[in-house]
């Protein structure tokens, strides 16, 4: 774990998390939805390992892994709609928090901090997923991809989260599994942490993103949270 910024310069009040690949392992249900659409259209099979680094790039990138040679825009639009429909139907069938992340959330709450979710996933998918995971009422704020004027890597979603929490950006940390997450957090003026257990591209490893803290595992993140919230009880 990179330790050169193990404690924020200001008192930490909140920890914000990216959702897919950081807080929750959503890949199984995303892959299942894409596999269903691939079968419906006769497009072939889904390689989950190939799909993993595409999750942070959004729906179109994931679809391109299966429909790369499809030039009919109407068919592509249909596939995209069916993928989102299928995913919404099974948004939390196999999705779980990454092992160790529940302990991170428990520790933040026990020590008097707050946590929230800032994701590029749209609210109509984010909300039911968090509800199914039992997190919606625990989260102090949830900012989805359609909540702010611009999605990440623009800082707008993170700044909106701070506004909803009534805190300064410097009192928050952002944890994410992509370069764009780190860029967004840095632009917002937050402490940034890279999630080394996430869905990043092996050709673009977390240590190259310039995060303040590199957490290789949720256990590393837990150690950082304990240090950053030291003295707040629990």
- Quickly list DSSP for 95-127: -EEPTTHHHHHHHHHHTT-EEEEE-SS-HHHHH
What CATH number corresponds to the domain at position 196?
Answer: 3.40.50.1000
The pLDDT score that the predictor gives to residue 62 is 93
Which of 89, 108, 142 lies at the terminal end of a domain, its last residue?
89
Among residues 4, 18, 181, 201, which one is catalytic?
Answer: 18
Number of H helices, E strands in the chain: 9, 8
Determine, yes or no, domain membership for 31.
Answer: yes
Residue 56 CA to residue 62 CA, distance in Å, equals 9
- CA atoms of 214 and 191, how far apart (whole Å): 11
| Same domain flag for 170 and 57 | no
Domain region containing 33 = 27-89
Which of 43, 69, 89 marks a domain boundary?
A: 89
Is 20 among the residues known to form the active site?
A: yes
Same domain, 76 and 189: no
Residue 68's pLDDT is: 74
Per the document, the length of the chain is 234
Q: Beta strand 141-143 with 114-118: parallel, antiparallel or unpaired?
A: parallel
Give every CB contact of residue 188 below 8 A, 6+ residues apart in sequence: 155, 158, 159, 162, 169, 174
Q: Is 77 a catalytic residue?
A: no
Give the integer Cα–Cα distance in Å for 38 and 34. 6
Which residue among 4, 20, 77, 201 is the active-site one? 20
- Could you give the CA distance from residue 180 to residue 57 in angstroms, rounded to a whole number? 9
Q: What is the pLDDT of residue 64?
A: 87
Domain boundary among 89, 115, 135: 89
The tally of domains found in the chain comes to 2
**pTM of the complete model beyond 0.95:** no
Whether 201 is covered by a domain: the verdict is yes
The one-digit pLDDT tens for each residue of the chain (234 residues) are 554 444 444 689 999 999 999 999 999 999 999 999 998 888 778 889 989 999 999 998 999 888 877 667 788 888 999 999 999 999 999 999 999 999 999 999 999 999 999 999 999 999 999 999 999 999 999 999 999 999 999 999 999 999 999 999 999 999 999 999 999 999 999 999 999 999 999 999 999 999 999 999 999 999 999 999 986 655
């Amino acid at each position: 774990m990179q330790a050169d910024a193990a404690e924020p310069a200001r008192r930490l009040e909140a920890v914000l998390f990216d959702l897919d690949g950081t807080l929750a392992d959503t890949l199984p249900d995303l892959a299942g939805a894409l596999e269903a659409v691939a079968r419906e259209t006769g497009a072939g099979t889904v390689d989950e390992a190939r799909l993993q680094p595409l999750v942070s790039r959004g729906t179109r990138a994931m679809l391109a892994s299966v429909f790369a040679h499809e030039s009919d825009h109407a068919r592509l639009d249909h596939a995209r709609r069916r993928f989102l429909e299928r995913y919404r139907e099974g948004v939390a069938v196999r999705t779980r928090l990454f092992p160790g992340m529940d302990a991170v959330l428990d520790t933040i709450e026990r020590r008097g901090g707050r946590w929230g979710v800032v994701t590029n996933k749209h609210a109509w998918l984010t909300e039911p997923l968090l509800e199914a995971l039992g997190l919606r009422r625990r989260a102090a704020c949830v900012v989805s991809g359609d909540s702010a004027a611009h999605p990440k890597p623009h800082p707008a979603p993170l700044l909106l989260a701070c506004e909803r929490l009534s805190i300064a950006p410097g009192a928050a940390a952002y944890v994410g599994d992509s370069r764009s997450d780190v860029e967004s957090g840095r632009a917002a003026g937050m402490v940034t942490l890279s999630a080394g257990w996430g869905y990043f591209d092996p050709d673009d490893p977390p240590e190259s993103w310039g995060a303040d803290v590199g957490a290789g595992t949720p256990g590393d993140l837990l150690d950082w949270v304990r240090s950053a919230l030291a003295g707040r009880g629990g």
